[in-house]
């Protein structure tokens, strides 16, 4: 596949579909973005659904240069990884560490929470209920 704006748009839409119709549907992240509100730069921090965010910035993505589109795609793909380092979405006027997911450490209200340790081959698995430890 040749790197072109049309192909980048297809990849962007494919990733967006993954955030809307898969296990990533409920993925949320803390996003800080700067918008020009009433001629004043305002920093707004909110916890947002990643798919809504990507849908809102789809037009901005289309208007980016080819190299910038590639950079954004690489950063968005990082959101699909298990790492929780945040991504650089500054080309969308968003934070340089956007999309960091934070979990509540209080597990008292949860019925059960299971840690699953599985071998690389998937043949062996152990489960530990963290409420019983």
Question: Tens of pLDDT along 34-46?
Answer: 444 444 444 444 4
pLDDT value, residue 27: 60
Number of domains making up the chain: 1
Rounded to whole angstroms, how far apart are CA atoms 120 and 128? Answer: 18
Q: What is the longest distance spanned by two Cα atoms in the chain?
A: 60
Establish if 10 belongs to a structural domain. yes
Question: What is the number of other CB atoms lying within 10 angstroms of the CB of residue 64?
Answer: 17
Establish if 86 belongs to a structural domain. yes
CA nearest to 21, candidates 48, 51, 54: 51
pLDDT > 50? residue 131: yes
- Domain limits at 16? 5-92
What 68-76 contacts at long range (C-beta under 8 Å, 24+ apart), as own/partner pairs, is 69/5, 69/8, 69/12, 70/3, 70/8, 72/12, 73/8, 73/11, 73/12, 73/15, 76/12, 76/15
Q: At what angle do helices 5-20 and 66-78 cross, to 10 degrees?
A: 20
Establish if 103 belongs to a structural domain. no
Establish if 100 belongs to a structural domain. no
pLDDT value, residue 68: 92
């Amino acid at each position: 596949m040749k790197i072109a704006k049309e192909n980048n748009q297809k990849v962007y839409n494919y990733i967006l579909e993954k955030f809307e119709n898969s296990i990533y549907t409920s993925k949320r992240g803390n996003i800080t973005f700067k918008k020009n509100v009433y001629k004043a730069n305002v920093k707004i921090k909110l916890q947002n659904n990643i798919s809504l965010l990507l849908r809102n910035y789809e037009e901005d993505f289309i208007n980016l240069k080819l190299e910038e589109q590639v950079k954004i795609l690489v950063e968005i793909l990082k959101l699909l990884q298990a790492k929780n380092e945040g991504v650089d979405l500054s080309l969308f006027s968003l934070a340089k560490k956007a999309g960091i997911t934070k979990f509540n450490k209080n597990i008292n209200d949860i019925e059960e929470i299971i840690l699953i340790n599985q071998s690389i081959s998937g043949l062996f698995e152990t489960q530990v209920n963290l409420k019983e430890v």
